[in-house]
Structure 1
Amino acid sequence: MSIVDKTNANDSLQPLFADLHVHIGRSGDGHPIKISGSRDLTFRSIAEEASDRKGISLIGIIDAHSPPVQEDILRCLDTGEMEEVAGGGIRYRDTVIVLGAEMEIREEGGGPFHLLGYLPNLAAMQEWTEWMRPRMKNVTLSSQRIRVTARELQEELLARGGLLVPAHVFTPHRGLLGCSADRLADRLDPEGIAAIELGLSSNTDMASRISETDRYPFLTNSDAHSTGMIGRECNEIAVAEPSFEELSRALRNEDGRRIVANYGLHPQLGKYHTNVADRIDRLADRGTAPESTARPLYREQVPLNFFPGIGPVLKEKLHDEVGTEMDILHRVPRHALEAAAGEKIAELIWRAREGKLAFIPGSGGKYGRLAQS
């Protein structure tokens, strides 16, 4: 894939899927990175899954600060299997990887919360690692506590050309508004927030009841701890090409770049839906967002892993005969689904597209599930 000439980019915007929160379980030589992540979740396997099976064109790996992961990246670049993109990021086949880090902060008067930081290239991420190293107990691991305030971290990240996003912002487990503060401005400079990540248990309608969020784009990301969960939430964005620079422009709604749609795990399938709904009720300063607060379409998504009857064998058959998971969930016609998976499974996928499935809500760290009809 060639780099798009930016002077003609407005004439060649393309919609693509982006999942900007994926963890690494182990480095290529076995170093633990995300303790709760799958051992098979490596830098290379994420790129391969996103490109070949999921149909995700822009993937954010948020453990790229780890030195063993950076060694994996360098090996992939040295072999020519991957290459750095002029606009920022690393390309593998049909996917570009945006390099990020997830960091934990705790400030007086609230619980610990996570922030996502994205940087334009490997050199900037390596510099970020060295800034974090003396302020963190173990810079090798994912999502570690850093001994600075959120505003200090924000200032340092932005000075390096980075993007700052509060992670899974409403969840009771490490969400800024879920367990640390009642307002984003209590912890961060509002001017330096690139977007808000909704998390797996809320959606646009729920978050829009809080007027403070009006100025920020919403992101729906998977927070994947295994390759199978990549893309369970994702964003459709219109850009000239997949890159850090184009992502940044899309978050600013610049020159036609934009978020086209948010594809979110149905909120009732999230682990903390009932907790999050209660928390938003307490924080909300209005019943619904005003019509002037225009938002991209929010589409509730049910990943293949949640459908009863779709096991590894059938999933592989669907990939072979139909396409990537994003194609299966959102694009291919019903007759193609029926030919590969049978009428019953095709009906479930079709009803999910139309928002006609019923769910048993998740709560207390347990995922929700489809209700048996």
Structure 2
Amino acid sequence: MAPERPMKTYFADFHIHVGRAKDRPVKIAAGNNLTLTNLLEHSQKVKGLDIVGVIDGVCDPVLAELDELVAAGELAELPEGGLLYRDRLLVIAGAEVELKGPKGRAAHFGCWFPNLAAAHDFNAWLKTVQKNTSLSSQLARTSSFALSQETHERGGLLVIHHAFTPFKGILGAAVDRVSDFIDLGAIDALELGLSADTSMADRIEQIQPFTYLSNSDAHGLDTIARECNRVRLDHVSFAEVRRLLARQDGREIVENIGLHPVHGKYYQTRCRRCGEIAGDGRVCSCGTDRNVVTGVSDRIDALADFDEPQHPEWRPPYRHIVPLLDIPGVGPKAYRSLVDAFGSELALLREHVAKQDVQQVVGAALGERVFQTLQGHVSFAVGGAGTYGKVLV
């Protein structure tokens, strides 16, 4: 009997937006340089990703560009699902769909598809429930049951997006329990989102059985892979990703990787008008309540079943990182030098990096700062109300 082939580890970011396609806007808040081709090239060559989810892949102009890349031989559809870009990068086409919950507040869901035929078919269904399928993250006038059914009937996967964010997060504001919005059995995974990590999420009993994902929700090239996952698979394909989310046959997330929660822009309850902490979470000292944004930390405190996290034994560790460009002193030139020297930004996380090697690239002082940050020796001014926390030196 032949020995089993050892599985490999890969870096995956399953939630990346497209700013523009076919000379048309797709994600309004995203940068115009976040085109499909730039996304694929930057993810692979600069960030060092092995798997990407193009979450606007079902939007009309992006779907058309995916078709063109297949016709040109740049993308190849795999027998087990997924698209392979230039024989190296697994691409999963998806849709971010907005639904209104029972209290009238909306939440975002990710629908991922195994092939372009399924993506086209889902796009055709979306046209019956959305006003504009050319744009990302549009409201679908349908039920969570229908969204789940339409996704799974096409062999797709359904993921809760940025679960705790105050805008469009299912637990951020829409409902107090996921089951108040959607059948728990319909969900294939839950994305934590900015300003949350595993220790925060595992204080809530109902969501503990879910596989947690840490994805960038990138709206620009620089923010790709700011949150990602190191995963163990036999090979790259949509079928392997399905096994990953189900934690089957040794497929697993080795570690979730992302910003420290306080570095995120929604961690603390703050006033958007004056920036001050809103003491009671409702009214700011400046006299307004309309501009107070409830922080993820306070929201999880309100929802928590446990004072301390209760991790399932299979839950992977969460590694907090600071993206290189967020480290004070690392500008475009130093960033490019580090990427060229080590091969990619994520290569600095994949293996042990010696301090002297970093210093040789960017100098003694900046190299020391970068190395210490990579080791987790860093503190932050806390973020909130849409303003990111600041890295302190």
Does the Cα contact within 8 Å between 1:214 and 1:293 map onto a contact in 2? no
Specify the alignment match of 1:168 in structure 2.
162
Instruction: State the secondary structure of the residue aligned to 1:273.
Output: coil
Specify the alignment match of 1:89 in structure 2.
82
Cα displacement string for residues 41-80 of structure 1 (whole angstroms, at most 9, x for unaligned residues): 1111111111111110000010011121111111111111
Does the Cα contact within 8 Å between 1:262 and 1:296 map onto a contact in 2? yes
Does the Cα contact within 8 Å between 1:322 and 1:337 map onto a contact in 2? no
Deviation at 1:194, TM superposition (A): 0.9
Aligned with 1:307 (options 311, 324, 327): 327
Does the Cα contact within 8 Å between 1:19 and 1:234 map onto a contact in 2? yes
Deviates more, 1:60-69 or 1:10-19: 10-19
Aligned with 1:232 (options 197, 215, 226): 226
Specify the alignment match of 1:41 in structure 2.
34
Specify the alignment match of 1:258 in structure 2.
252
Does the Cα contact within 8 Å between 2:208 and 2:311 map onto a contact in 1? no
1:347 and 2:368 aligned = yes
Does the Cα contact within 8 Å between 1:113 and 1:180 map onto a contact in 2? yes
The correspondence of residues 214-229 of structure 1 with structure 2, limited to 5 A, is 214-229=208-223
Specify the alignment match of 2:65 in structure 1.
72
Specify the alignment match of 2:305 in structure 1.
285
Q: Equivalents in 2 of 1:35, 1:42: separation in Å?
A: 13
The correspondence of residues 48-197 of structure 1 with structure 2, limited to 5 A, is 48-93=41-86, 94-197=88-191
Deviates more, 1:234-243 or 1:88-97: 88-97
Q: Equivalents in 2 of 1:103, 1:9: separation in Å?
A: 43
Cα displacement string for residues 193-228 of structure 1 (whole angstroms, at most 9, x for unaligned residues): 111100011100000000111111110000000111
The code of the aligned residue for 2:76 comes to E
Does the Cα contact within 8 Å between 2:231 and 2:253 map onto a contact in 1? yes
Does the Cα contact within 8 Å between 2:55 and 2:110 map onto a contact in 1? yes
Instruction: State the secondary structure of the residue aligned to 1:305.
Output: helix
Does the Cα contact within 8 Å between 2:208 and 2:312 map onto a contact in 1? no
Q: Equivalents in 1 of 2:364, 2:263: separation in Å?
A: 24
Structure whose residues are more often helix by fraction: 1
Specify the alignment match of 2:296 in structure 1.
276
- Structure 1 residues 114 and 80: CA distance shift in structure 2, 3 A: same
Deviation at 1:307, TM superposition (A): 0.8
Using structure 1 for the length normalisation, give the TM-score: 0.94
Specify the alignment match of 1:368 in structure 2.
389
Deviation at 1:132, TM superposition (A): 0.5
Q: Equivalents in 2 of 1:9, 1:246: separation in Å?
A: 20
Q: Equivalents in 1 of 2:311, 2:95: separation in Å?
A: 35
The code of the aligned residue for 1:80 comes to G
RMSD across aligned positions (CA): 1.6
- Structure 1 residues 10 and 212: CA distance shift in structure 2, 3 A: farther
Structure 2 unpaired stretches of 5+: 269-294
Deviation at 1:191, TM superposition (A): 1.0
Using structure 2 for the length normalisation, give the TM-score: 0.90
Q: Equivalents in 2 of 1:367, 1:343: separation in Å?
A: 28
Q: Equivalents in 2 of 1:338, 1:115: separation in Å?
A: 43
Q: Equivalents in 2 of 1:225, 1:238: separation in Å?
A: 27
Q: Equivalents in 2 of 1:8, 1:142: separation in Å?
A: 47
Specify the alignment match of 1:249 in structure 2.
243
The code of the aligned residue for 1:346 comes to G
- Structure 1 residues 79 and 291: CA distance shift in structure 2, 3 A: closer
Does the Cα contact within 8 Å between 2:78 and 2:84 map onto a contact in 1? yes
Cα displacement string for residues 158-195 of structure 1 (whole angstroms, at most 9, x for unaligned residues): 12111111100001011000011011111111112111
The code of the aligned residue for 1:130 comes to A
Number of aligned residues: 365
Q: Equivalents in 2 of 1:108, 1:216: separation in Å?
A: 22
Specify the alignment match of 1:4 in structure 2.
none
Does the Cα contact within 8 Å between 1:198 and 1:218 map onto a contact in 2? yes
Does the Cα contact within 8 Å between 1:50 and 1:56 map onto a contact in 2? yes
The code of the aligned residue for 1:180 comes to A
Does the Cα contact within 8 Å between 2:99 and 2:139 map onto a contact in 1? yes
Identity rate, percent: 38
